[in-house]
Amino acid sequence: AGVLYERILAPEGWVAYPDAAPTLRALREAGIRTAAVSNVGFDLRPVLDGLELLDGLDAVVQSYEAGATKPDPRIFTLALDQLGGVVPAAALMVGDHAAADGGAADAGIRTLLIPMSPPGAPHGLGAVTVEKRRVYEGTPGFESRSRMATAFVPSSQTRKRT
């Protein structure tokens, strides 16, 4: 059991979707802050760092630290707070699990669900860069580009290797 747990904690046990890093880079270049919101029961930062995704994120909100798990809207609100107080109407949550990620919609955050992809396959995250332009223009509560955020769920960026 200990060996299995160590493998789960190691970045080598995970594979990033090939479109995760380019999407995070494009959002960063556009001045859009991003956060990962996760229900995993361990610190996901070393995994994200090993997959070269951590530097593309402005915040990582983990349920075991937040005291709330998805779909509880409080974990998504905490992510917005950690991104500098982004208002829900100016945010977009990208996830792949309707039941868990639907809590973002309950918090007033637009939510884009992308079906899960096999490990290593493109995940369709390019839709985020197109979607953000359509969603934010004319949105009530949207103050400026610097107030926008896109919250990512790590499972939308990475999959455990099998």
What is the pLDDT confidence band of residue 133, given thresholds at 50, 70 and 90? low
- What CA–CA distance (Å, rounded) separates 121 from 114? 13
98-111 per-position pLDDT tens digit: 999 999 999 999 99
Provide mean pLDDT across the span 124-150: 53
**63 neighbors 100 (Cβ within 8 angstroms):** no
The backbone torsions φ and ψ at residue 138, rounded to the nearest 5 degrees and listed phi first, read 80, 10
Give the tens place of pLDDT for each residue, 78-132.
Answer: 999 999 999 999 899 998 889 999 999 999 999 988 888 887 788 788 777 655 5
Q: Give me the mean pLDDT over the 9-22 stretch.
A: 84
Higher-confidence residue of 16 and 140: namely: 16
Structure token pair of residue 127 = 């839709």
Closest of 44, 77, 68, 76 to residue 158, by C-alpha: 44
Assign 52 to helix, strand or coil.
coil
The pLDDT tens digits for 26-42 are: 888 888 899 999 998 88
Q: Contact, 40 vs 100, CB < 8 A? A: no
118: cis peptide before it, omega within 30°?
A: no
Determine the Cα–Cα distance for residues 82 and 34; give it in Å rounded to an integer.
Answer: 10
pLDDT average, residue stretch 156-162: 48
pLDDT band with cut points at 50, 70 and 90 for residue 137? low
